[in-house]
Structure 1
Amino acid sequence: MSPLLIVISSTLIAGLTMALGAVIAYLERIENKWIEEEIRHGVMAFGGGALLSAVALVLIPEGISHLSPLTASISFIIGGLSFMFLDIFLKKINTPAGQLAAMLADFIPESIALGAAFATGNSNAILLAALIGLQNLPEGFSAYRELNATSTYKPQKIIMLFSLMAILGPISGVSGFLWLSEYPEAVSVIMVFASGGILYCIFQDLAPQVRLEKHWLPPMGAVLGFVLGMVGLMMTT
């Protein structure tokens, strides 16, 4: 399979995990409220761990390799601030699509970076693709629950919307593959920018909702998510 086809297929699969997360949330029928809360918080923690591993093990190490400390720091901070302002804007307009916007805001730059990584023959490209898919699964789960909490969005329409959004992955990935592979500095800025935004999302949206009073198991989801990324890195190096 040609590298371009690998980019298209890997980004599409990673994007479709958003719809898979929505399907899991739709099919979830747990009568025991305590168990349901444990599972929901555990899934969110797993997503946080996967996001953190993508930042710590792939995006930041690869991103800073072509940047000066000052450029990397500015890119990282601007990424965090951009996601913060997006979060503030979504709160001001009182939209139920906050999780959805956050999911797309990190999926698109990650897909661009993934396409460029495949073009340059980066050995961590497959790992990054896997981590994107892993993080999109719990994000799709949470975004579905957020949208489904209102009567405006029907379950089938939400799942269809998430499936259509998966197309943004190949579009972004091919863009990075064809046009950004010759500009490693630009790709590095995108990686570090996305890392700052992702880290903001972890501590603003995911981490505060993971903890349950008098329950200690859900945070282990973050540990498992990070370990999964760490093992993947060790197996590819």
Structure 2
Amino acid sequence: MDLLFTVIVLTLLSGLAMPFGALLAKIEHLHPSWLKSELRHSIIALGAGALLSAVALVLVPEGTSNLSPLVACLALTLGGVGFMLLDILLKKINSPASQLVAMLADFIPESIALGAAFATGSSSAYLIALLIALQNLPEGFNAYRELKDGSSMKSVIIILSFVGLALLGSLSGILGYTFLYDLPKVVSLIMLLASGGILYSIFQDIAPQVRLEKHWSPPLWAVFGFMFGMLGHMLVH
């Protein structure tokens, strides 16, 4: 029971990074021109680095540990193709919530994997929680700006909806902890599907937004994001 409580708390805290990112995006009045340029690009780059470290250090290594190379490659590819089709669909319907959907497509399977990791006693469970929080912060930032610019939703409604999504992460963690603890191959499939989707998102939506004319610090934040994941991996192992 104590371990299940830990899963609930960690998935909730990781999810609350989304509304925290939204609050950061809301304070435009502090320095509008800087927030819309260098800070925004830096936050995007931080998210890209965290996502990349999640794939390289946790999701792919653990996902491939229980699957054959053929099945692993197929799952990774299907994840990328699935995100591509989702991206095409959102573009066709001209939805202002594409970043929000992409955020959920990462957060839910990772929360399921986090719950399963605690159930199986994986040493990477806490690292997964850290990486989820690191990526949810910039994704919440971007999703808030996208919804605010493309819809008539009030700021408080957007932020409260992000809090609700954090609760959805806890439910996903409970699902993984309760039902997938003895299905390591299913957990590995979920990890690799999420990895393929994340890699697609990095190079399709995130990386092109990192570079900023006459500013050189934003790409460095991608290094910082990856470094955080690397440090956690080294501390765990």
TM range (shorter): over 0.9
Gaps of 5+ in 2: none
The alignment's TM-score, normalised by the length of structure 2, stands at 0.97
**Secondary structure of the corresponding residue to residue 206 of structure 2:** helix
Distance 1:68 1:199, change over 3 A: same
User: Is the contact made by 1:43 and 1:138 (CA closer than 8 Å) also made in structure 2?
Assistant: yes
User: Which consecutive unaligned segments of at least 5 residues does structure 1 have?
Assistant: none
Following superposition, the deviation at residue 217 of structure 1 comes to 1.2
> What is the CA deviation profile of residues 123-166 of structure 1, one whole-angstrom value per residue up to 9, with x for unaligned ones?
00000001001100000000000111134211111001101111
How many Å apart are 1:212 and its aligned residue? Answer: 1.1
Match of residue 85 from structure 2: 85
Runs of 4+ in 1 over 6 A off after TM superposition: none
* Residue correspondence of structure 1 range 213-232 to structure 2 within 5 A: 213-232=213-232
Deviations along 1:85-105, whole A, 9 cap, x unmatched? 001000100000000000000
Asked whether the equivalents of residues 107 and 169 of structure 2 are also in contact (C-alpha less than 8 Å), the reply is yes
- Take 2:67 and 2:164, find their aligned partners in 1: how far apart are those partners? 35
Is 1:208–2:204 an aligned residue pair?
no
Q: What is the distance in 1 between the residues matched to 2:203 and 2:193?
A: 16
Q: Aligned-pair distance for 1:42? A: 0.3
CA RMSD of aligned residues (A): 1.2
Does the Cα contact within 8 Å between 2:28 and 2:35 map onto a contact in 1? no
What's the % identity of the aligned pairs?
Answer: 60
Contact 2:50–2:135, Cα closer than 8 Å, also in 1: yes
Provide the rounded CA distance (Å) in 1 between the counterparts of 2:224 and 2:102. Answer: 22
> Cα distance, 1:28 vs. partner?
3.3
TM-score (norm 1): 0.97
Which residue in the other structure is 1:137 paired with? 137
- Matched residue count: 237
| Aligned counterpart, 1:180 | 180
In structure 1, the residue matched to 2:11 is 11
Q: Aligned equivalents of 2:136 and 2:151: distance in 1?
A: 24
- Post-superposition offset of 1:55: 0.4
Larger CA deviation: 29-38 vs 182-191: 29-38
State the Cα distance separating 1:170 from its structure 2 match: 1.0
The alpha-carbon deviation at position 213 of structure 1 amounts to: 2.1
Question: Cα–Cα, structure 1 residues 21 and 35, in superposed 2: closer, same or farther, change >3 Å?
Answer: closer
